[in-house]
């Protein structure tokens, strides 16, 4: 019998209760070792593992297995999964160029079989890839082969995936998903521009790297980036779109504060939309996003423990959680 969104949402609402809460985060912050953190996560339903990375990887697989079992149409997640596809393309391109395959770096789940990507790159038959990726894959290959420029090669692939994310978000018939993806792409553009303004890049590189997205002033950002980091920072600080000005205020404090602002903005968007809806794909996607931010929080705390960072410094880096 086909699954219904009514059933799936009911299941997800029950599952949401297992997501970490603010109280759980405070508890994790009180620990002084990775072993204590691992015991806590085991009690919270994470798989028994010898280290945090393995625990998170195993939990991520469990989340995907669960979502596959309850989603009426698993393709609703393609807007996120295609990022795994392009990550794998980058790994395979560089592995084949160096004559050493790094299968351990490949991600799943995917929408494009990794063997198909390997075949496309090995035989230079990029037209066997989906149309949205084929030309970008060929261009990225040519850049690596002739210019040996990994940054530009990656930029071409990253732009292709951002463009496809926008396309897929519109197909989902969800105002939230479209707004969410537009926000993700907008801030990806901002991060690219900020990094580029600190290095010797051309207008051509920025045209290749930056993605057209609603309310993004592409030409103005490119012009400002070419004038230097400080000029770009001042220019972006004037923008109200996607609360860009507020984000830049945080960047001036520290890049970490900027990253936290952006991540928190996205999580709040998800909580405000996905937790109150009782139909459609949004609640399922919200649960997925909740698990993603949970992983990030655990990583931050784990990294702090490994480096013996001050607890207040760790707390400053933590993200808004979905649970």
pLDDT in tens, 165-194: 999 999 998 999 999 999 999 999 999 999
pTM of the model: 0.95
> Tens digit of pLDDT for each residue in 2-36?
688 999 999 999 999 999 999 999 999 999 999 99
- In 3D space, the residue among 321, 267, 275, 269 whose CA is nearest the CA of residue 298 turns out to be 321
When pLDDT is cut at 50, 70 and 90, the band that residue 260 belongs to is very high
Mean pLDDT along residues 236-248: 98
Residue with tokens 């702090």, as numbered in its chain: 304
Residue 3: the pLDDT is 83
When pLDDT is cut at 50, 70 and 90, the band that residue 246 belongs to is very high
Confirm if 185 and 158 have CB atoms less than 8 A apart: no
Domains of the chain: 74-169 (1.20.1690.10)
When pLDDT is cut at 50, 70 and 90, the band that residue 39 belongs to is very high
- In 3D space, the residue among 321, 303, 193 whose CA is nearest the CA of residue 263 turns out to be 321
Residue 278: the pLDDT is 86
Mean pLDDT along residues 244-252: 98
Residue 172: the pLDDT is 94
Residue 101: the pLDDT is 79
> Tens digit of pLDDT for each residue in 114-160?
999 999 999 999 999 999 999 999 999 999 999 989 999 999 999 99
Residue 151: the pLDDT is 94
Tokens of 3: 């699954």
Tokens of 143: 């850049």
């Amino acid at each position: 019998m086909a699954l219904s969104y009514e059933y799936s949402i009911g299941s997800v609402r029950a599952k949401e209760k297992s997501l970490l809460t603010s109280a759980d985060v405070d508890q994790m912050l009180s620990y002084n070792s990775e072993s204590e953190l691992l015991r806590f996560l085991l009690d919270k339903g994470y798989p028994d593992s010898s280290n945090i990375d393995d625990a998170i990887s195993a939990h991520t697989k469990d989340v995907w297995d669960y979502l596959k079992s309850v989603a009426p149409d698993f393709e609703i997640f393609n807007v996120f999964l295609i990022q795994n596809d392009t990550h794998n393309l980058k790994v395979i391109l560089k592995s084949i160029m160096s004559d050493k395959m790094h299968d351990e770096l490949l991600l799943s789940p995917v929408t494009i079989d990794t063997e198909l990507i390997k075949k496309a790159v090995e035989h230079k038959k990029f037209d066997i890839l989906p149309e949205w990726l084929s030309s970008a894959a060929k261009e990225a290959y040519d850049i690596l082969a002739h210019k040996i420029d990994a940054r530009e090669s990656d930029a071409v692939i990253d732009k292709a995936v951002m463009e496809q994310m926008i396309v897929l978000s519109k197909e989902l018939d969800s105002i939230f998903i479209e707004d969410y993806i537009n926000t993700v792409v907008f801030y990806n553009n901002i991060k690219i521009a900020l990094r580029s303004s600190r290095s010797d890049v051309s207008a051509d590189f920025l045209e290749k790297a930056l993605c057209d997205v609603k309310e993004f002033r592409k030409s103005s950002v490119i012009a400002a980036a070419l004038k230097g980091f400080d000029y770009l920072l001042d220019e972006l600080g004037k923008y109200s779109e996607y609360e860009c000005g507020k984000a830049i205020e945080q960047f001036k404090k520290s890049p970490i504060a900027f990253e936290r602002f952006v991540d928190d903005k996205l999580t709040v968007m998800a909580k405000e939309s996905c937790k109150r809806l009782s139909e459609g794909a949004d609640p399922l996607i919200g649960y997925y996003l909740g698990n993603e931010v949970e992983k990030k929080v655990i990583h931050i705390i784990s990294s702090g423990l490994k480096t013996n960072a001050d607890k207040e410094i760790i707390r400053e880096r933590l993200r808004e959680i979905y649970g």
